[in-house]
């Protein structure tokens, strides 16, 4: 099994916020960046978001024909350790296949595949999920958020590429979600360092392409993982 290529894609304000203080999604990307995002979706085999994104924004996670003619819809993957996804969620409706990843007792949704990755009622084991997807021929994964999911992929060394669109706006707010949330780095030694590969101007904003610089860990241990 070869590990799928994992790309994190997100848009943020100049002060690093990805949504309003209420955590409601707001449009940050410009039109040119939205076209890029939908092309990236179209070129991916799977899109990953956490249950928090589904509950707050109720996204469809589809490639829009407005940006891509005759789109190829990727697999929609929802990380939902406690299986809280509403039965009327947009990602459960037709348009593209959906995979729910949980750790609790499986519940059946019509036409939806549910798998368990991790100890019962605990965290979603991302390494196990990546192995599962690789075994099934998934080669390119696009991670869209939210902030806890992005942090968990980064700190588990599963990310190959980070694409960030920075819009010329300030959102502010202590409660506004950032690009990478959860507990963050506990020490300077556990900070995730990135190498900037490319900077491109898109309308009034900037697109930055980065790659994580892999750490040489003595024992390879990671801190406890939070539920997704």
Count the Cβ atoms, other than its own, within 10 Å of residue 8. Answer: 26
Rounded to two decimals, the pTM is 0.90
In 3D, which of 210, 162, 167, 178 has the Cα closest to residue 40?
162
Nearest partner of 15 among 176, 194, 132, judged by Cα = 176
Per residue in 177-195, pLDDT tens?
999 988 888 888 888 999 9
Query: Is residue 221 scored above 50 in pLDDT?
Result: no
| Domain residue ranges of the chain, discontinuous segments joined by + | 5-212
Residue 217 scores a pLDDT above 60: no
Distance CA 146, CA 170 (A): 19
Name which CATH class applies to 5-212: alpha beta
């Amino acid at each position: 099994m070869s590990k799928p290529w994992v790309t994190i894609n997100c848009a943020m304000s100049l002060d690093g916020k990805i949504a309003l203080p209420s955590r409601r999604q707001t449009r940050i990307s410009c039109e040119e960046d939205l076209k890029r995002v939908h092309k990236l979706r179209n070129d991916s085999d799977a899109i990953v978001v956490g249950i928090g994104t589904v509950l707050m924004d109720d996204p469809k996670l589809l490639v829009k024909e407005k940006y891509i003619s005759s789109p190829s819809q990727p697999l929609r993957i929802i990380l939902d350790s406690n299986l809280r996804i509403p039965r009327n969620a947009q990602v459960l409706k037709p348009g593209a296949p959906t995979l729910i990843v949980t750790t609790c007792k499986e519940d059946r949704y019509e036409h939806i595949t549910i798998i368990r990755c991790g100890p019962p009622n605990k965290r979603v084991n991302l390494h196990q999920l990546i192995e599962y997807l690789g075994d099934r021929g998934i080669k390119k994964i696009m991670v869209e958020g939210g902030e806890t999911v992005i942090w968990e992929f980064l700190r588990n060394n599963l990310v190959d590429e980070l694409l960030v669109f920075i819009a010329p706006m300030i959102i502010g707010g202590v409660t506004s979600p950032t690009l990478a949330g959860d507990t963050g780095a506990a020490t300077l030694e556990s900070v995730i360092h990135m190498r900037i590969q490319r900077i491109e101007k898109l309308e009034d904003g900037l697109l930055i392409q980065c790659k994580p610089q892999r750490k040489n860990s003595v024992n390879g241990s990671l801190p406890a993982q939070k539920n997704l």
